[in-house]
Amino acid sequence: MTTEERRAEVLRRLQGAIQPLTGTRLSREMGVSRQIIVGDISILRAEGQKIYATPRGYFMIRDEHADARQQLATLICRHTAEDMETELNAIVDNGGAVMDVIVEHPVYGPLKSDLLLTSRRDIKNFISKMKKCQATPLLVVTGGVHLHTVRVPDDEALSAIKDELRAKGILVED
């Protein structure tokens, strides 16, 4: 299989996947190293493919399952690392999905990490992985200030999310 054929196959598998695919799984199936897959994903993204990298693996949003009523909103939040789970649960409990986290690094500029957290189970796994790896949340770079892109079904859900985050002292008002 040539490099181009492998990349086409990676893209085909991502387009057909129902859940995220890990780099390790793709590397085993393709008979190459995980680092080769990471490089393939980077090149596919540079070519304009909408591939997201999350703690659960790589995925693409499938248009045929997209709900036309879904909308994206950006929330500005501020809290400590200890309140991260509270913040994320407030979003998903009110019907939202946490697509990413973005911080403004003083040297590098914007740093973004795709998350796609849609349930308390996703959040529990994410927090467990953070603890297991002893990872520091991106929000420590900015004293707790960060952005989340959230996907919501309607304005009512977005309003409920904002109300709960505001009540918890997490939402930063524009």
- Binding-site residue ranges for Ni(2+): 79, 87, 146, 148
* CB-based contacts of 137, cutoff 8 Å, min separation 6: 81, 84, 101, 130
Strand order in the sheet with 109-117: 71-78, 145-152, 97-105, 109-117
Residues comprising the binding site? 79, 87, 146, 148
* Assigned token pair, 95: 């019907």
* Assigned token pair, 5: 């054929």
DSSP state for residue 140 in the 8-state scheme = G
* Nearest in space to 141 (alpha carbons), one of 111, 169, 165: 111
The span from the CA of 105 to the CA of 142, in Å, is 7
